[in-house]
Amino acid sequence: MADINRIVVMDSEYCSMGRWISIIVGDATGLKLYESRELCALADEDWLIPAYLDDFDARLVGRDPAEVAADPEFQRVHEALSRAIRKAAEAGPCFIHERAASTILADRDDLLRVMLYGSNVEDKYPRVIIDPTVPLGEDATREQLDAELCAQDQRRSVYHDAVAAIPWGDKRGYDLCLDSSALGREKCAEMIIAALQPCALDPKRCAAAVDRFMASFK
C-alpha cells in the first residue's frame, strides 16, 4: 500500500459503525485515530477530561447552534479541542472523528472529508443496546431507542453547526458520503482507503473514452 499522506476527518451518525470503520482504516493504513478521549489528552488541560466532555455534550441536546456558539463554556471547550485537532494534524497523517475538524482544518489541502450514515435504523438498535455508555437495556422500546439515536446525533450536529457554515450531514460539506447499512463496515473502510490513494486510472484512456461518447452525439 502506498504511503498515506492525508488526513481523514469523519462525521458519522450514531451507531452507523463510525468507530469500527475508523479503527479498521487506521489498522490498515497506520493512521492514528483521534476521538474525544485522545483529543482531551492532546489538549493537555486539567479540566478537559472525557467525563466532563460527555456531560457537556449531553447538555447540547435540543439547543440552538447559534445560541451554543455564543456560550462561553462552549467557546472554552471548542478552543481547547481546536488546539488539540491542529496538534494532531501537525503531527502527521491521522484520522479525526467529529468535533467540526473539517472546519478547524479548512485551510489545509490534504483533507479527506467523510460522512458516514446508516440508512437502516433497524441495524442500529442492537448497537444502542450494547453501548455501555447508554443507560438502555434489552427491554428498551423502539421509542426509547429512537429517542437515544436522535439525542446522540444532536450532540454531534449541534456542536458542529455552532461553528461550521455547512450543516452536519449536508453532502456539500464532504468529499465522500457512505451508507454503512448498504455497504457494510469493511467495504466502507475499503472505500475510504481507496480514496486516500492515487488514482489508478489512465487519464489519457479516460479522456479518449469520454471523447468517443461525446462524438456519438455529432
Please list, in sequence order, all residues whose beta carbon lies within 8 angstroms of the beta carbon of residue 143, skipping any fewer than 6 positions away.
none
Residue 75 vs residues 85, 159, 162: alpha-carbon distances, Å: 15, 11, 10
| Residue 39 to residue 43: CA distance in whole angstroms | 6
CB count, 10 Å around CB of 16?
Answer: 26
Q: Delimit the domains of the chain by residue range.
A: 7-215
The pLDDT value given to residue 43: 95
Q: Where is 179: in which H helix or E strand? A: strand 176-179
Q: Which residues of 80-119 are buried (b: 16+ CB within 10 A; e: fewer)?
A: bbbbbbeebbeeebbbbbbbbbbbbbeeeeebbbbbbbbe
Q: Which grid cell sits at 41? A: 489528552
CB count, 10 Å around CB of 146?
Answer: 15
The pLDDT value given to residue 3: 61
Task: List the pLDDT tens digit at each of the 218 positions of the chain.
Answer: 556 779 999 999 999 999 999 999 999 999 999 999 999 999 999 999 999 999 999 999 999 999 999 999 999 999 999 999 999 999 999 999 999 999 999 999 999 999 999 999 999 999 999 888 887 778 889 999 999 999 999 999 999 999 999 999 999 999 999 999 999 999 999 999 999 998 889 999 999 999 999 998 87
**What CATH architecture does domain 7-215 belong to?**
3-Layer(aba) Sandwich (3.40)
The pLDDT value given to residue 101: 97
| Residue 34 to residue 190: CA distance in whole angstroms | 19
The residue assigned the cell 443496546 is 129
Backbone Cα Rg of the chain = 19
| Beta bridge partner(s), residue 9 | 96, 113
Count of alpha carbons within 13 angstroms of residue 27, beta-carbon side: 9
